[in-house]
Structures are given as C-alpha cells and as structure tokens.
C-alpha cells in the first residue's frame, strides 16, 4: 500500500504551544492523530491527504484541536482521501474542535472528508431500483423515461418460479455499459431459520455467484420476506459462510421494530458483534411509496442501531415499470458489481 500523508499546521499563539503528532501504521491501516493545545488567539489549519492504491485498505484520520483562552479563533480542517481500491475499503474521519474562550466553551465535530473510490467522489446516497424482471433495453428506457437515472439496479441470482427471473450475462453487460452497478440478491428460500439453513443458503448463493462470474468482494443479499420465519441462527450461519468466502454479506427485509427480522438481527448481533460492521442491511422500512428520482423522500431508513446500512427500498411495485425504488448508501457502492 502506498500512503502519502501531508499534514500542514499553522498556529499563532502568544502564550504557549503544545503540538503532538502521532503516526501509527499497522498492516493496511493508517491512523493519524493530531492534538493541539493553544492558550491564546489562534488560527489553525489542518490538512490531511491520503493517496492509497491497494486491493484492501483501512484509513483512519483523527484530528483534535483543543484551544483555551483568547477571543479570536479560526480553525480550518480539511481531509482528502484519494483511494484506488478494487475490493474493500473502510474510511473513517473524525474531527473535533474544542474551544474555550473567556470561559465560554464551544465544541464542533464531525466528518470533514472528501472520499474518492477508484478516483471518483463517493456520494452519500444514490438513487436506484430493483426488479424481478429481466432487464432489457425496453425496461431500462421505461425507468429512465418515467422515473429517473438509476445508479444501482438490484437483481436476483437464479430463477424462482412465479417470483423472479435470474440475472443473465446479457443483463450484466447492458447495465454495466450504462454505468449502473448491480446489487446481487439471493431469494431461493422461504424458511430462514437455523444456523445450518443459513449456511446452506449462503453456500448455494456463493456457488451460483461464482458460476455467473460475480467478482470477489461483492455483497450477496439474503432476501427475507415478511412472511418468512426468521431467527438469529440463520443470520449467523449466512454471515459466517459469507465471511469464509470471497464475498461480502448482506441481508434484505423489513427492518421495522415490530418485525421478527429486526429482533433476529439484534439477537444475532449480540452473539456476534462483527455483524454490526460487516453485514450490509438493505431495509424496506419505512414504506413511503413509489416515486420518481426527483420526488424521492428524504433519506430516512429504519434499521437496528449500530448496523451497517446499505440501502433503503422506500417504494415497492411500480405500475408503469416492474420495479421498486430505492436510496442506496454510498458505503455500499464498494460491494456492488
């Protein structure tokens, strides 16, 4: 991994300056911590730039500015991550400005980042659809003419009689030639109970994904309909099998607090906390109804606290085209096809 860190700090202080810089590089992880203590009027500028070219990368940037006394403080924090990663990337930026001026303390913090994956800016959310129908030029035109420009298209592995048609290579070529990423769904089950069942369904999905040529790192989403029985062991079995493979794990369903899926997920996460960071959630709650991209609701998915949100299917069963409408979180784009 080639990592370049450029940290620029400008400080004006009349009393004292304490500057601590710690850089720790572990495996493919870079942690940069900058803690500054000033005791007078201050102008601070922090700039961090990371250039990463690797298959897998974890980048953590942390800036903390502590300023005491004085009256006039100007703080400018900028973090730029330019990342070229083909498989898996996790980026965390944390910025905290703690200012105590004349006994009045103000604190501001958050993620000040401009993250790029494969050289392109990663948006916070993107609009997309999913469909049980085969995708051809007519369906793509129907969506574009009546709804919007999807950046993600959810499709199923394998045919399921009376429910959905399986993704084909022709569809893959069509969607990708139109710069549309594919979210891969597994729905070849109706009973989601038991650890062994979770493992067997995951292994079947993995085998079919390999046969279709789905590349490593892509997430496979278990489709749990509200009428299916579901328990925590199934989720654990699904996730464990996916974790042992070249694929990432995901799960779809109605993550309303009243649903069995919500309870099963929380129970599974209590037993294996890695689910919170590794299992992508595609929630169908709340249901706001079908809309065009321009009229899509504000991004407000419902899912268990601490979970890894991947997307929100906010509307189902459009009449004009056989699609559902979605917002997808920017963090899921790295595990789509």
Residue 193 or residue 113, greater confidence? 193
Phi, psi at 199, each rounded to 5°: -70, -45
Question: Could you give the 3-state DSSP secondary structure of residue 38?
Answer: strand
> Cα dist. 192→225, 231, 280 in Å?
9, 7, 17
* Same domain, residue pair 168 and 313: yes
CA 79, CA 82: separation in Å to the nearest integer? 10
292-301 LR contacts (CB < 8 Å, sep 24+): 292/146, 292/147, 292/148, 293/127, 293/147, 293/148, 293/149, 293/150, 293/325, 294/148, 296/127, 296/325, 296/327, 299/124, 299/125, 299/327, 301/255, 301/327, 301/329
* Same domain, residue pair 198 and 169: yes
Residue 199 or residue 115, greater confidence? 199
206-210 LR contacts (CB < 8 Å, sep 24+): 206/241, 206/242, 206/245, 206/247, 208/157, 208/158, 209/157, 209/184, 209/247
Contacting residues for 263 by C-beta, under 8 A, at least 6 apart: none
Residue 183's pLDDT is what?
97
Q: Among 73-87, 94-108, 294-308, where is mean pLDDT lowest?
A: 94-108
HSE value, Cβ hemisphere, 13 Å, CA-based, for 223: 21
* Same domain, residue pair 299 and 200: yes
Residue 297's pLDDT is what?
96
Phi, psi at 244, each rounded to 5°: -85, -5
Q: Count the Cβ atoms, other than its own, within 10 Å of residue 318.
A: 20
Give burial (CB, 10 Å; 0-12/13-18/19+) of 277: exposed
CA 218, CA 288: separation in Å to the nearest integer? 28
Q: What is the reported pTM? A: 0.66
Give percent of the chain above pLDDT 70: 64
* Same domain, residue pair 63 and 148: no
* Same domain, residue pair 324 and 176: yes
Tens digit of each residue's pLDDT (9 = 90 or more) over 119-167? 457 789 999 999 999 999 999 999 999 999 999 999 999 989 888 999 9
Residue 95: which of 80, 118, 79 has the closest Cα? 79
**221, part of any domain:** yes
Tens digit of each residue's pLDDT (9 = 90 or more) over 248-279? 999 999 999 999 999 999 999 999 999 999 99
Question: Could you give the 3-state DSSP secondary structure of residue 98?
Answer: strand
* Same domain, residue pair 114 and 153: no
Number of domains in the chain: 2
Q: Residue 182's pLDDT band (boundaries 50, 70, 90)?
A: very high
**2, part of any domain:** no
* Same domain, residue pair 194 and 278: yes
pLDDT mean across residues, the chain: 77
Q: What share of the chain is helix, strand, coil (3-state, %, to 5)?
A: 20, 45, 35
Report whether pLDDT(107) > 80. no
Q: Residue 81's pLDDT band (boundaries 50, 70, 90)?
A: low
Which residue range(s) make up the domain with 90? 8-121
Note the helical H segments in 160-215. 169-177, 195-212
CA 301, CA 287: separation in Å to the nearest integer? 9
* Same domain, residue pair 66 and 143: no
Residue 123's pLDDT is what?
84
**159, part of any domain:** yes
Peptide bond into 288 cis (omega under 30): no
Copy the structure tokens of residue 11.
């400080």
Q: DSSP for 116-138?
A: EETTEE--SEEEEEE-SSPP-HH
**75, part of any domain:** yes
Cα radius of gyration (the chain): 23
CA 280, CA 275: separation in Å to the nearest integer? 8
Tens digit of each residue's pLDDT (9 = 90 or more) over 31-52? 444 444 444 444 555 555 566 5
CA-based end-to-end distance of the chain: 23
Last residue of a domain, one of 90, 121, 152: 121
* Same domain, residue pair 115 and 57: yes
CATH number where 213 lies: 3.20.20.80
* Same domain, residue pair 21 and 86: yes
């Amino acid at each position: 991994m080639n990592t370049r860190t450029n940290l620029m700090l400008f400080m004006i202080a009349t009393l004292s300056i304490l500057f601590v810089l710690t850089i720790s590089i572990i495996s493919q992880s870079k942690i940069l911590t900058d803690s500054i203590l000033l005791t007078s009027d201050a102008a601070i500028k922090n700039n961090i730039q990371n250039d990463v070219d690797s298959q897998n990368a974890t980048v953590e940037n942390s800036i903390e500015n502590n300023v005491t006394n004085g009256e006039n403080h100007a703080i400018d924090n900028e973090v730029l991550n330019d990342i070229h990663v083909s498989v898996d990337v996790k980026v965390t930026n944390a910025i905290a400005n703690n200012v105590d001026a004349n006994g009045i303390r103000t604190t501001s913090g958050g993620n000040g980042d401009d993250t790029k994956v494969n050289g392109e800016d990663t948006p916070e959310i993107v609009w997309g659809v999913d469909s049980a129908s085969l995708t051809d030029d007519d369906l793509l035109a129907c969506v574009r003419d009546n709804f919007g420009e999807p950046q993600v298209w959810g499709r199923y592995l394998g045919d399921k009689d009376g429910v959905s048609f399986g993704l084909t290579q022709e569809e893959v070529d069509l969607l990708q030639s139109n710069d549309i990423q594919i979210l891969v769904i597994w729905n070849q089950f109706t009973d989601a109970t038991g650890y062994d069942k979770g493992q067997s369904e995951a292994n079947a999905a993995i085998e079919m994904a390999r046969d279709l040529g789905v590349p490593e790192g892509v997430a496979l989403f278990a489709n749990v309909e509200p009428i299916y029985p579901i328990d925590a062991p199934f989720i654990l079995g699904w996730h464990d099998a996916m974790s042992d493979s070249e694929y990432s794990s995901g799960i779809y369903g109605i993550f309303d607090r009243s649903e069995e899926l919500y309870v099963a997920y929380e129970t599974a996460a209590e037993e294996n906390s890695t689910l919170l960071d590794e299992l992508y959630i595609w929630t169908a709650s709340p249901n706001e109804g079908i809309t065009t991209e321009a009229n899509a609701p504000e991004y407000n998915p419902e899912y268990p606290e601490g979970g890894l949100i991947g997307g929100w299917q906010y509307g189902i069963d459009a009449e004009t085209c056989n699609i559902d409408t979605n917002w997808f979180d920017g963090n899921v784009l790295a595990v789509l096809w």
